[in-house]
Chain A
């Protein structure tokens, strides 16, 4: 069973920030928070990961709460190409257990 809880679906207007929440209340001290996305019929694409601190890269920002029980993935300026299923996964860095993810629809 996945150790994370995500909303089933979300909508976002093109050009706006997309904020995708994830709850992981049972996360262990050695587990990272990973975010991947999967566009239809493709392999998952790595977005970002973090352990305790907030992280930012060219794709997104990851905000992890101080107690590490939840996190938010932020796509600062969503485009139509960001429409995908987004997976939040907690793992010590080995096998990844994919849940159902959040289906993000970016609309014009």
Chain B
């Protein structure tokens, strides 16, 4: 199956700093990438959707100025948590989907996740 990687796998930062998380599709071109957040003992919540070369679409309640998403190429999307605070501590997971005509077009493939701890 298609492989999606994330980096870093875990990060600890001080309150007020910014953190960048990378999401890469390793063996297919990701027309669309998604970012999710998961708090302990809860399910995944979609934060935003990004198409390559376009601005991301954010879900209701997600601050676009705080969670900056860039999808500059067909294999890379980044999520930057700006001025992070302890309440932003969570498990951030990306997923990628190929174009509709590609084998990976109907399915989202998920990265392993990034655990963020803000002190």
Contacts and interface: CB of A to CB of B under 8 A. Distances in A.
A46 B43 contact: no
Given A95-B34, A95-B49, A44 B44 contact: yes
Contact of A46 (B1, B44, B93): B1
B63 interface: no
- The majority secondary structure among interface residues of chain B is strand
A42 B44 contact: no
Contacts of A98: 36, 43-45
B106 A43 contact: no
Contacts, number: 54
Nearest to A32: B106
Given A41-B113, A42-B112, A46-B1, A96 B46 contact: yes
A35 to B, nearest CB: 11
Interface residues of A, number: 21
A38 B93 CA distance: 12
A43 B112 contact: yes
A43 B113 contact: yes
Given A95-B34, A99-B43, A100-B43, A43 B49 contact: no
Contacts of A94: 32, 49, 97
A49 interface: yes
Contacts of B89: none
A1 to B, nearest CB: 12
A38 B42 CA distance: 12
- Minimum-distance CB pairs A-B, first 4: A43-B110, A98-B44, A98-B43, A43-B113
Given A44-B93, A96-B44, A98-B44, 7 more contacts: A32-B106, A42-B112, A43-B110, A44-B44, A87-B43, A96-B95, A101-B43
